[in-house]
Amino acid sequence: METVKGYIEKIVYRNADNGYTVLSLSMSGEDSFEDEITCVGYFAAVDEGEFIEASGEFSNHSLYGEQLNVDSYSVKSPDDIDSIRKYLGAGSIKGLGEALADRIVRKFGLETFEIMEKQPERLAEVKGISTRKAMEIADQVEEKKDLRQAMIFLQKYGVSLSMAVKIYEQYGSGLYAVIRDNPYKMADEIAGIGFKAADEIAKKVGIQTDSHYRIKSGILYVLLQASSNGDVYLPMEDLTIRAKQLLEVESGEFEKNIMDLILDKRIIVRDEDRKAYVSNYYYTELNSAKMLHDLNVSEGKGQEKTEDYISKIEKDTGITLDELQKTAVMEAAHNGFLVITGGPGTGKTTTINAIIKYFSMTNHEILLAAPTGRAAKRMTEATGLEAQTIHRLLEISGNLGDSSYAARFERNEENPLEADVVIIDEASMVDMFLMHALLKAVTVGTRLILVGDVNQLPSVGPGNVLQDILECGCFKVVRLTKIFRQAQESDIVLNAHKINCGEKLDLKKPSKDFLFIKREDSNKIIAAMLTLILKKLPEYVECDVADIQVLTPMRKGMLGVERLNKILQDYLNPKDVSKREKEFQGIVFREGDKVMQIKNNYQLEWEMSNRYGVTVKRGMGIFNGDMGIIRTVNTYAEVMEVEFDEGRLVSYSFRQLDELEPAYAITIHKAQGSEYPAVVVPVLTGPRMLMNRNILYTAVTRAKKCVCLLGDEETIWQMTDNKSEQIRYSGLGERLKELKEGVGQPL
């Protein structure tokens, strides 16, 4: 066992999650730093410039030469003038460079750290340091010491470095009491730490399995896990079964803790039907129902005049509206709330344009929005008016308190949208929380029009908003059913409607935009996929390779997202010395890769620049499903830059890379609201709940010019025949019916 000491010259590599580090250490001799060696091992938290003592065994690496495999280390206060100077000037302390570090050391010598600890105000005796700056420097030195101690403490409980930083940022020195008394508190208060992670820590601390903290946290975890699958509530019977499986406790203990959670107002269980909600989910659903009910104001006068306007619209545009489209314009003119639904080729865009034309002629202020940037861009192109994402329409705020994952909007009941008409496209994608935020910003008297295809998959977030509204029977609904002649020329449109009706597709029929390639082996499917993407489709649909999207029903398996992305990355963006990359939790992120944001983060800042590199626009928020390209990977600064739609550039620290995943292949669910020049869909085998009509219909309708199905026809026919969809527990429709019947609960 060899022991060395010196200061860290350079951190060559560090895995932000497990702490594995390669660093260059300048070893201290009698008077100076004589040798530089490479150290490899697991380091909890170290910075360049720090002075350490490390023990381990030397070995000779075939590529990197001699290196010390570190078994243990400790961070020391530098014990000579040169070490102190190098530590302070290494850049790890904000606002302290080499020149200032040199002046501090010349002033205080070997007593520098003692002065910082016990008399930090004396740093102001050094030229260039104010009293305020002196205290800031001392605070940083102390904080780094506290953070390092916290990291080492948390590592004993199996906490990763990235998670340890989050815990320290949340609790500071109070984390020791949280770990000792109630680790489950972290699951409630820190994004990214779930019940299972907290439970593992609790076991190591010695907290009993029948602890009230554990049972209550487990019950909330089950409800929140259900929401990640789209559920707003769970029937009590379901909640009981799932929680008991998770917690392995007796029913008496479970029921007592349910009652405690109800008394603490953390969950609500309706007496009428024994449905269990997380409290804010219940009130969000109830308030949404009340606001929709209040918007539903009708006015019967002036129908003849509206008909005259419709005739004028037809004359001005040269387009003849069918009866359902005319009805949609009429209902929009005379109702505070309207829903328009229809499949591809049924004239939804023409109808929206006619409604816009009507309200423009009657001098109404109109706002257009959609749930995603891609959908908003398509809406802008189709209407000629600017459409925004709903988040941008509501003016998302950067002042969000403690959580990056909870939205706050400047537009709300106190500062409503200044518009007479608000039209929302792709409404099937709108989840319960986004709908609630939108409704808060729409005053009674402003018309709200939702447009969407109810046969597409429901929102990624909790709720079944569009379907609940359509099926409750409380509002005016126009269902567009006629497929127009131009759309009839597209097999994408015709086959989408056949899938929706459960009709068997003729997969052998020649088609210019709907292709089926028979392959009965997953590797042969992948080979055909690569040929299509690299050689055939770009020229055929006149687009870049990056614009072609692979859509698959599942994440796991031979044709799942995870395997396909690794293969597609190797062919579409192979490893190259000119491309920097970063491995994070088993995923390689490489410059040039296509990636997707997989959770809403309302605090991520983006900026847009002109061709001269001058920033012209800044904003907040990157959302679940947003796709972009990795432009730079900076392993020194531990930052990765991603360019999203419209040239929005976002910097991610390496600690934030769990918010991104490769997007050469994505699940069909994640493709909602998007449209691509061509899509390639592998269909072979998979879980029955994923291989259904709804999934296939959504995949096919994502293609603008060409859809390619790869697999065997039997699977496609089975999907078309399988109407079963995953049941979502959502009560918005019931709340709306209760309000209509006058039995709704008061707010």
Binding residues for ATP, by number, are 345-349
Counting every residue, how long is the chain? Answer: 747
Write out the binding residues: 345-349
Q: At what angle do helices 303-317 and 348-361 cross, to 10 degrees?
A: 110
Strand segments (E) across 15-123: 20-28, 33-42, 51-61, 65-76
Instruction: Please state, in angstroms and rounded to a whole number, the distance separating the CA atoms of residues 653 and 709.
Output: 38
For 375-382, which contacts have Cβ atoms below 8 Å and span 24 or more sequence positions? 375/425, 375/426, 375/429, 375/673, 375/674, 377/645, 377/646, 378/425, 378/675, 379/352, 379/425, 382/349, 382/352, 382/353
CA atoms 191, 192, 193, 195: torsion sign: positive
The phi, psi pair for 310, rounded to 5°, reads: -60, -40
Q: Which residues pair with 679 in a beta bridge?
A: 549, 707
Q: Which two tokens stand for residue 413?
A: 């009941």
Beta carbons of 468 and 450 less than 8 angstroms apart: no
Instruction: Please state, in angstroms and rounded to a whole number, the distance separating the CA atoms of residues 590 and 572.
Output: 11
Q: Which two tokens stand for residue 30?
A: 């009698």
Residue 81 DSSP SS3: helix
Query: Number of C-alpha atoms within 13 angstroms, CB side, residue 238?
Result: 17
Query: Number of C-alpha atoms within 13 angstroms, CB side, residue 402?
Result: 9
DSSP run (H or E) holding 467:
helix 465-471
Beta carbons of 686 and 657 less than 8 angstroms apart: no
Beta carbons of 572 and 548 less than 8 angstroms apart: no
Beta carbons of 288 and 437 less than 8 angstroms apart: no
For 139-143, which contacts have Cβ atoms below 8 Å and span 24 or more sequence positions? 140/93, 140/94, 141/93, 141/113, 141/116, 141/117, 142/117
**Letter string b/e over residues 499-538, b meaning 16 or more CB atoms within 10 A of that residue's CB:** bbeeeebebeeebebbbbbebeebeebbebbbebbeebbb
Q: How many CB atoms lie within 10 A of CB 333?
A: 23
DSSP H helices in 248-347:
251-263, 279-295, 303-317, 323-334
The span from the first CA to the last CA of the chain, in angstroms, equals 70
Angle value at C-alpha 521, between 515 and 525, nearest 5 degrees: 40
Could you tell me which of 669, 656, 675, 658 has the C-alpha nearest to residue 560? 669
Tell me, what DSSP letter sits at residue 347?
Answer: -
The phi, psi pair for 332, rounded to 5°, reads: -65, -35
Which residue do the tokens 């609940």 mark? 468
Instruction: Please state, in angstroms and rounded to a whole number, the distance separating the CA atoms of residues 735 and 744.
Output: 7
Beta carbons of 144 and 75 less than 8 angstroms apart: no
Q: Which residues pair with 368 in a beta bridge?
A: 387, 423
- C-alpha distances (whole Å) from 546 to each of 249, 379, 593, 704 are 51, 22, 9, 15
